[in-house]
């Protein structure tokens, strides 16, 4: 069952298919959520993983159950003593772990192994009494692992389906043990700050080792052996370390501040890391979005894509470099706060940022959009209705996905067809280039005609500026949108003429098809 998980303040809530939020989910004992940093989510099978804001990584099921993803391994070794007569003969060793099941008996977490026994136990035609401890955490089972007679490899022997019993009388014949060797296990670090799902595994980076990438065992979100790790790129080249994951089909991108690496392969034995470039990097994990095996992300001088052909600066290709390479439009010092998403319906990459006007407060207050089909950029856009805090894709009751925006005010919104900003008008302003046959001559600009798309209501204000460059504008004309074509008096004399079109009415969407200025004649030369 699809579900949408949100962090709302210091609470976790799910959103149903109609957009209604649940009550706060019950967190595991001792787990709290920070509100001064960004939650990071990953999907694994039918579960959602949350790190960075929880005091330890947690996993959420579709039914709203919340569990710790990691369980602390036992600190005491298994004890083995000879018991009553039985079928075991030889030298044996044992280990045990703590395990947590959900209500559907899915394995949510299994701890690392207990310490090794100091000595093996030798028995002759006897049972073995195995002693173990209970978990102080949310475990509800213990898994017992044992060697075969005189062997050194561990196999699953028995599962104690409670967190109460402290002993088990083992008379399991060697050939009744699991045919599979005991799996590699290990507990996920509590200070995980980045998380993603790729290649059937979870991948993460901790706060304490920012250059080191850790990964889980294949198919096991809870098993994080210490050997499953490597250092990304140039270690210690900066304090930020790995900033963002970019999981594509066959490669996992690792973005740092000035370096972009990638991992390929399927297992520890054949994972290969390469540095793709040391000429760019990633500024924000939340800016990374994947669409059709292409990664979109923000770096210090623009928005880039990474695909099979390499890297491209699509903001440069769209001729909007000044948005990102100067502080005139956006606050570059707050790029690390940026977040983005893909709207698959409109095929646009949407990126939310801090505008230059808000650089003092660092508040996200605008967004820009890149049309994947045409390569055109739109924006910067603003809203007065709310302060954006996140962008995400939600599954609706009609089996479609919707691109949604969360707000600091505590609600989420979707795009609408009506032209209004949650009831307020959206101001429109468009200015033509200066018109002139010859800037060295004074001209007479005749009658003005404006063609628009006919609408049920609305008025378009047209403000002429005629004279020298920088002349004061004249009084505006009122263009009624109920008429497809409307004619106005002559614009007058000047070297240049320009027009500014404005509208600030709720649900009015002016479409201008063309303008005509009659009888443009020269009357003198400078």
pLDDT one-digit tens code per residue, 287-310: 999 999 999 999 999 999 999 999
Is 56 part of any domain?
no
Q: Is 322 helix (H, G, I), strand (E, B) or coil?
A: helix
Is 421 part of any domain?
no
Q: Is 323 helix (H, G, I), strand (E, B) or coil?
A: helix
Question: What local confidence, expressed as pLDDT, does residue 383 receive?
Answer: 85
Name which of 118, 183, 195 is nearest 145 in CA terms: 183
List Cα–Cα distances, 274 to 93, 175, 214, 282, 347, in angstroms: 42, 45, 16, 16, 31
Q: What pTM did the predictor assign?
A: 0.86
Question: What local confidence, expressed as pLDDT, does residue 526 receive?
Answer: 52
Same domain for 381 and 454, yes or no, is no
Question: Could you read off the pLDDT of 359-397 as tens digits, one per residue?
Answer: 999 999 999 999 999 999 998 988 888 889 999 888 777
Is 40 part of any domain?
no
CB 132 within 8 A of CB 143: no
> H or E segment at 163?
none
> H or E segment at 183?
none
CB burial of residue 491 (10 Å; 0-12, 13-18, 19+):
buried
Question: What local confidence, expressed as pLDDT, does residue 468 receive?
Answer: 85
Is 382 part of any domain?
yes
Same domain for 198 and 220, yes or no, is yes
CB burial of residue 23 (10 Å; 0-12, 13-18, 19+):
exposed
Q: Which of 367, 386, 415 is the last residue of a domain?
A: 415
Question: What local confidence, expressed as pLDDT, does residue 524 receive?
Answer: 59
Extract the tokens encoding 135: 């978990």
Q: Which of 118, 145, 176 is the last residue of a domain?
A: 176
Question: What local confidence, expressed as pLDDT, does residue 329 receive?
Answer: 94
Same domain for 306 and 400, yes or no, is yes
Give the DSSP letter of residue 151: -
C-alpha span between 80 and 121 (Å, rounded): 6
Q: Is 334 helix (H, G, I), strand (E, B) or coil?
A: helix
C-alpha span between 72 and 32 (Å, rounded): 17
Show the domain range for 502. 428-525
CB 480 within 8 A of CB 505: no
For residue 9, the Cα-to-chain-centroid distance in whole angstroms is 18
Same domain for 265 and 287, yes or no, is no
Q: Which of 375, 392, 415 is the last residue of a domain?
A: 415
Same domain for 112 and 168, yes or no, is yes
Same domain for 160 and 195, yes or no, is no
Question: What local confidence, expressed as pLDDT, does residue 406 receive?
Answer: 87
pLDDT beneath 50, residues of the chain? none
9: alpha, beta or left? (left if phi > 0; alpha if psi -120 to 50): left
Question: What local confidence, expressed as pLDDT, does residue 298 receive?
Answer: 98
Number of domains in the chain: 4
Tell me the CATH number at 228: 2.40.10
Same domain for 462 and 483, yes or no, is yes
List Cα–Cα distances, 329 to 35, 41, 143, 411, in angstroms: 28, 30, 59, 27
* Tokens 């899915």 found at: 106
Give the DSSP letter of residue 321: H
CB 261 within 8 A of CB 212: no
C-alpha span between 45 and 61 (Å, rounded): 10
Question: What local confidence, expressed as pLDDT, does residue 332 receive?
Answer: 95
Is 42 part of any domain?
no
Same domain for 382 and 454, yes or no, is no
Question: What local confidence, expressed as pLDDT, does residue 509 receive?
Answer: 87
Name which of 185, 160, 171, 166 is nearest 92 in CA terms: 171
């Amino acid at each position: 069952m699809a579900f949408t998980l949100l962090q709302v303040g210091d609470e976790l809530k799910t959103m149903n298919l109609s957009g209604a939020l649940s009550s706060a989910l019950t967190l595991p004992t001792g787990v709290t959520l920070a509100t001064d940093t960004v939650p990071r989510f990953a999907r694994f099978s039918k579960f959602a993983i949350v790190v960075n804001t929880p005091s330890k990584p947690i996993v959420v099921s579709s039914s709203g159950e919340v569990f710790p993803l990691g369980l602390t391994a036992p600190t005491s070794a298994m004890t083995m003593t000879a018991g009553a007569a039985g079928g075991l003969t030889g030298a044996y060793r044992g280990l045990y772990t703590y395990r947590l099941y959900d209500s559907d008996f899915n394995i949510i977490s299994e701890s690392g192994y207990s310490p090794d026994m100091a000595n093996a136990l030798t028995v002759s035609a006897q049972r073995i009494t195995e002693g173990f401890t209970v978990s102080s955490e949310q475990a509800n089972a213990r898994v017992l692992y044992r060697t075969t007679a005189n062997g050194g490899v561990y196999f699953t022997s028995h599962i104690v389906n409670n967190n109460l019993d402290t002993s088990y009388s083992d008379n399991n014949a060697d050939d009744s043990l699991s045919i599979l060797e005991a799996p590699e296990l290990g507990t996920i670090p509590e200070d995980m700050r980045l998380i993603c799902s790729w290649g059937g595994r979870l991948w993460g980076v901790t706060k304490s080792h920012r250059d080191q990438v850790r990964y889980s065992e294949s198919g096991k979100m809870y098993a994080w052996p210490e050997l499953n790790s490597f250092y990304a790129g140039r270690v210690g080249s900066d304090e930020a370390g790995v900033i963002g994951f970019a999981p594509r089909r066959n490669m996992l991108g690792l973005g740092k501040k000035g370096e972009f690496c990638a991992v390929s392969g399927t297992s520890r034995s054949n994972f290969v890391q390469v540095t793709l470039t040391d000429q760019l990097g990633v500024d924000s994990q939340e800016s990374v979005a994947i669409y059709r095996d292409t990664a979109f992300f923000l770096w210090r001088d623009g928005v880039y894509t990474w695909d099979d052909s390499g890297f491209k600066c699509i903001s440069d290709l769209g001729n909007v470099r000044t948005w990102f390479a100067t502080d005139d439009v956006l606050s570059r010092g707050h790029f690390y706060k940026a977040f983005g998403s893909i709207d698959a319906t409109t095929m646009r990459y949407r990126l939310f940022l801090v505008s230059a006007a808000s650089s003092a407060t660092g508040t996200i207050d605008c967004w820009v959009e890149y049309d994947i089909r045409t390569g055109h950029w739109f924006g910067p856009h603003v809203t007065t209705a709310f302060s954006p805090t996140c962008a995400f894709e939600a599954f609706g009751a009609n089996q479609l996905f919707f691109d949604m925006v969360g707000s600091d005010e505590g609600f989420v919104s979707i795009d609408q067809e009506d032209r209004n900003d949650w009831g307020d008008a959206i101001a429109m302003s468009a200015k033509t280039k200066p018109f002139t046959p010859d800037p060295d001559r004074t001209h007479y600009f005749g009658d003005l005609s404006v063609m628009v798309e006919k609408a049920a209501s609305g008025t378009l204000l047209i403000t002429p500026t005629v004279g020298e460059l920088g002349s004061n504008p004249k009084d505006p004309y009122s263009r009624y949108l109920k008429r497809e074509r409307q004619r106005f008096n002559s614009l007058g004399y000047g070297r240049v003429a320009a027009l500014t079109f404005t509208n600030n009415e709720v649900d009015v969407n002016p479409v201008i098809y063309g303008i005509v200025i009659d009888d443009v004649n020269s009357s003198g030369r400078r």
